[in-house]
Structures are given as C-alpha cells and as structure tokens.
Amino acid sequence: MEMGKIADSKEVIYIPSGNISDNQQELIRDDEHKRRETLFLHLSAFTACMVLFAGTTDMVWTSPVIPKLKSNDSDINPLGQPITAYQISLIAGLPALTLVVGGLAFAKLPNLIGRKRAIMCMAAGMLASNIAVACGGHVYVYYVGRSAFSLFRGAASIAVPIYLSEICEDCNRVKFGCLMGLANPAGNLFGYLVGPVTSVRVFTLLCVAPLVPSLLFFSTVVPESPVYLASVKDRVGSIRALGKLRRYEEPEEIERDYKRIEESLEARAGVKSSGFLSLFKTRAVRRGLLIGVGLKLAQNFAGVVVIMSFLGPMFNDAGTRLSGNSVAILVGIVKIITFLVTSFTVEKVGRRPLLLFSCIGSGIPLFFLGLYFYWKNNNQMFIEDIRWLPIVCILGYIIFFSLGLGPIPIALVSQLFPSDIISVAISFTMTIMAIVVFLLTSAYPIVSEILGVHYFIWLFSMCCFVSSGFIYFMVPETKGKSILEIQKLLEKK
C-alpha cells in the first residue's frame, strides 16, 4: 500500500498501489469535496431556500387563519363576517389550481432569463401578492391574492430545485436537495407558531418577510447557476461562479469542473427541444418523467397537503386534550427534526430504501387515524379512553413521511433530466401535482362535512401502500451517480 495525501489536508488516506483509475480519482476527489463544502455554497443554497420557506407557509396559512375567518368578532375576522364551507373550499382550492397555470406559463422562464433572475421575479410576485391579501377586506381579494401568490410560488418551485441542483456537485447534490426539502417543515412550523398569536394581516405579512433578505442577497452576492451561464456560452461567468461556489479548488480543478459541464451540455446538443414534446423523445427522459410524476403523486396522495392545511381544525374536531394549534406546533417540530435526520443519512442509506420505508410506514398510522375518526363519527363510547390515539398517529405519520416521501422526491426529480429540459420536465410534473392538490383541497372541506374525515384519511393510507409498489418496481437507486450517469441508467432500464 502507498500513502497519498489530499491537497491542503493533514488527513492521510490509503489507496492501492499501482495505477489509479479515473473512477478511483473521482471517488477520492468527491470524498474530499464532502469535507470541504464552502460557506458561500451554503449561503447561496440558503438564499434560494428562503423563497421556498416563504412559499410553504402558504401551505399552512389556512390552518390558523380559517378559525379566525369563521369568527363573528370583527376584531379577529378582517372580513367582518364568518365565511362558509364553500368559501373555505375556494380559499384552499383556488391557489392549488393556479399552480397549474404557473407551471404552464413559466415552464421555460429559467432557461430564458436565467435561474437566479427567475427566482427573484417569483419572489417579488409572492411578496406583492401577500401585501394585497394583508390589505384586503373582502373575500374576493383573498381569492385573487392567494391565487396569485400560488402562481408565483409554483414557478419558484420549478426554478429553485434547478438552481440548487446546478450549483452543487454529484457528491452533495441530494444532501442539499433534502436540505431544500427542510424549507417545507420549517415554513410549516413558522406558520403554526406565528399564525395563532398574530392577526390575519400581520401573519400574512410575516409569511413573506424572508423574501426581503433573499432578494437582497440574490441582487448583491449570490451568483447565477454556472450551468446556465455555460449554456449561454458565458465561459468567463461560469468559471467565476464555480470559483465562488468552490473556493477550496485550484484553478485547474475549476477548469476541469467547467469542462464537465460543457461535456454534459454537448451530449444534449444534438437533441432539439420542442417544449413539452421533448419530454417524450427519448427513453431516458420518458422514464424519468414517469418516475418524477409518480413520486410527486405518491407524495401528495399520502395526504400531506390536506392534513397540513387543515391540521388545526381537524384536531379541534378530534377532541384531544391538546388544541389544534398545539398539535400543529408539535408536528412542525417533529417534521423538522426528521427532515434533518434524512438530510444527513440519505447519502449513506440511499434514496430507494428510504422511500419504500417511508411509504409503508406512513400508511399504517393513517389507517388508525381514519379508524379513530370513524369511531368518533359513530359516537362509540370507548373513544373517551383513546383520545391520545390521533396525536400518536399524526406524529407517527409525520416521522415516516419525513424520512423519505417528504424531502427525497423534490431532490430526486431534479436529477432525472438533462439541463436543457429540466425546467419543462419539472413544470409538467408540477402541473400534474397541482391538479391533484386542487381536487383534494377543494373536496376535503365539503366531503368531510358531509361524509366524515375518515374516508379521506383512509384514501391517503391506501395510496401510501400502492405507492410503495410503484417505488419498488420503477424507481432506480441514483446514489453517487452524476446526471449523465443517471440518464444512461434510465436509458437501459
């Protein structure tokens, strides 16, 4: 054995004697990168994630706000009169519908004006939309303002994963993707903590407060994606961005990274993009699209949007010893902790095992949660002795969901497509997801009032088990693979 030292490091590693293959050199280099991620990379990722953080507070905005909008007290209810179940359905459902429009309208925006500029435009639109809602005093202003917010949020949900995927490396792309997923529970928890103790107007403004520093950082220090700059033939700008994001690298290493980006872009140079039709031209992209849509459907049919949006009212009706807002805060804390655990274990365990474990695990507590509401709906006497059951079930569900279905799909989907069609692919996936979310969130207030909550929860439980079968047979393991290697893997399958 001979000893080789990694540059600028006192750590000694052992490598086999003889010639070292290119793959071995890549493994050594990737291991070094894992230890030397720059603070600037973290700042850039955090700046982009703040946009998602603000967006996910919108997901739970209804939980603390709906009870206030049902109040007869004009000091609490800015609308002046209680809203109806039909109006609740529109407030919750219309934003999901505008996600469809956002996905279609802004699909190519990150390719046209750049990832960074697209994110900044969407952040500014989200900020203006919530200011309009905060200043409004009529339910129609809520319809329009929240729908506009969702329109821009949907477009940001396309641009941010692309940006994060392109500023990271193969060795840390999914790690940062899962940290991007952490913006979801963090935004949820922020909404659950602040919403109950502030007025509707103040809460609506606080939801978009993180967008102010995000816009400031993007406009001053955070660079554009080096992949986008290379795609528009800005070699100098791309190398400069790589230099900022990977300051530990020598100039020749930066040049090598740029060559990799160029090779990846050249590999797709002969493929003509024609909007959504380009998603069906090659086997690899078709299979990637099937996996991406399947994972997002699995995520949403697991019930997370409906449960998190109506968690407060749902547990107020459950009759537990904790209020709906207290349960919501507890859920938010548990979700953040579990997302963090997933972020630091996904590279060791792999994506596919965590997704399978998450799907099956999420379905079990949902089944028992539905059973509890079924017993309560039928006035079973023993329900008084098991008031703890819904709390245990919802915490179990959140833990299992956050171990895989929550953070991994958004990170994995951004790896399945080449850079020239990734925005269109994510837009298509978001459009399908938005239609599903609109149907679920619009139907829930009305169906649960007529038939009962348990039917919806049992539907989510069944979908979790069905999704585990899809993941087992269709989703490949992408651990340690570059985007180009993933494309070759999808082509063979």
Instruction: Write out the chain's pLDDT in tens, 493 residues.
Output: 334 433 333 333 333 334 444 444 444 444 444 445 678 888 898 999 999 899 888 777 888 888 888 888 888 888 888 888 788 888 877 887 787 677 677 777 888 899 999 999 999 999 999 999 998 888 899 999 998 998 898 888 888 888 988 888 766 676 677 677 778 778 888 888 888 889 999 999 999 999 999 999 999 999 999 999 998 889 999 999 988 888 887 888 888 888 888 887 776 665 555 566 777 878 888 888 899 899 989 998 998 888 877 777 777 777 777 776 778 788 888 888 888 888 778 777 888 899 999 999 999 999 999 999 999 888 888 888 888 898 899 999 999 998 888 888 877 877 788 767 777 787 788 778 878 888 888 788 788 878 888 888 999 999 999 999 999 998 888 777 777 778 888 887 5
Give the model's pLDDT for residue 174: 66
Angle between helix axes 39-60 and 173-194 (nearest 10 degrees) is 40
DSSP 478: -
Tokens of 142: 């809520």
Q: Is residue 15 helix, strand or coil? A: strand
CA-closest candidate to residue 107, choices 290, 276, 279: 276
pTM for this entry: 0.67
Contact 166, 225 (CB under 8 A): yes
Distance CA 25, CA 388 (A): 55
pLDDT at 333: 87
Question: Domains of the chain, with CATH numbers?
Answer: 1-36 (no CATH), 37-222+268-492 (1.20.1250.20)
Task: Give the pLDDT confidence score for residue 326 in this predicted structure.
Answer: 79
Crossing angle, helix 324-349 and helix 351-377, to 10 degrees?
A: 160
User: What does the angle CA 189 – CA 88 – CA 201 come to, to the nearest 5 degrees?
Assistant: 55
Look up tokens 């953080």; give the residue: 53
Are the beta carbons of 279 and 422 closer than 8 angstroms?
Answer: no
State residue 11's pLDDT score: 36
Closest to 244 measured CA to CA, from 234, 254, 259:
254
Cβ contact 173:411 at 8 Å: yes
Q: What is the DSSP secondary structure assignment for residue 322, as one 8-state letter?
A: S
